[in-house]
Amino acid sequence: MRFQRLRLNGFKSFVDPTELVIGEGLTGVVGPNGCGKSNLLEALRWVMGENRPTAMRGEGMEDVIFAGTARRPARAYAEVALVIDNSERLAPAGFNDSDKLEVVRRITREAGSAFKINGRDVRARDVQMLFADASTGAHSPALVRQGQIAELINAKPKARRRILEEAAGISGLYQRRHEAELKLKATEANLERVDDVIEALT
Ligand code: ATP
């Protein structure tokens, strides 16, 4: 699954619509301090379903919306779109009918986030699963933020194992297991309730 384009609109310092073409091979982003290099990486994490404002260096998720400057008013929404090459048809069932996938996330003040894949409304979970199954995503070890190398070196074995599992592409399975366990618990609780009702009736 290869990223081809990243489009930003109103995301952090990228107030005007900005499009980046991600070519094959290694991509470097260079620029002076404060020009928005980290914001780009955050946009990538965000469109893949990152839900922790702290991972976006903010207090609330709305902090990703352009906050305004002395010359320009704040924006009401932020949008990031990621275009992915799907010619190998690696996307999950239902999204596999075209060579390209466009994942869009938009956040509107006081209305929260909405996701789309190829124009269709989807849940955050669908987007997170799409990337988790492709061994990438908001928490992917392929995205290395500043200071993270030192953190990895100092990490405890359990944390390092999580990184290896993420790289091996099995973190999506953990998420599914967690959801299955929750369903199982809810079903057990329902069964107990049914038993109580039957007992009360007999
Ligand atoms: P460095 O090399 O110092 O790490 P950088 O190129 O990675 O810098 P970023 O940290 O990505 O730069 O960008 C910081 C800039 O983004 C700051 O000027 C900050 O004011 C601006 N910024 C962050 N959030 C917003 C926002 N919501 N609205 C407007 N500007 C923002």
Ligand 1 pocket check: which of 39, 107, 144 to mutate, most ligand atoms within 8 Å of Cβ?
Answer: 39
Report the predicted TM-score, pTM, of the whole model to 2 decimal places.
0.77
Per-residue pLDDT of 188-201, as tens digits, reads: 999 999 999 999 99
What is the number of other CB atoms lying within 10 angstroms of the CB of residue 26?
5
Ligand 1 pocket check: which of 38, 45, 145 to mutate, most ligand atoms within 8 Å of Cβ?
Answer: 38
Q: How far apart are CA 176 and CA 74, in angstroms?
A: 39
**Residue 75 Cβ < 6 Å to ligand 1:** no
Per-residue pLDDT of 122-165, as tens digits, reads: 999 889 888 877 656 666 666 766 777 777 788 898 888 877 77
Pairing status of strand 18-21 against strand 2-9:
antiparallel
ipTM for the complex shown: 0.93
Phi–psi pair at 140, nearest 5 degrees: -60, 140
Q: How far apart are CA 180 and CA 162, in angstroms?
A: 20
Mark residue 20 as left, alpha or beta (left: phi above 0; alpha: psi -120 to 50; beta: remaining). Answer: beta
Ligand 1 closest atom vs CA 13: 30
- Which residues sit opposite 81 in a β-bridge? 7, 104
Which stretches within the chain are classed as H helix?
37-47, 124-133, 148-154, 157-168, 171-201
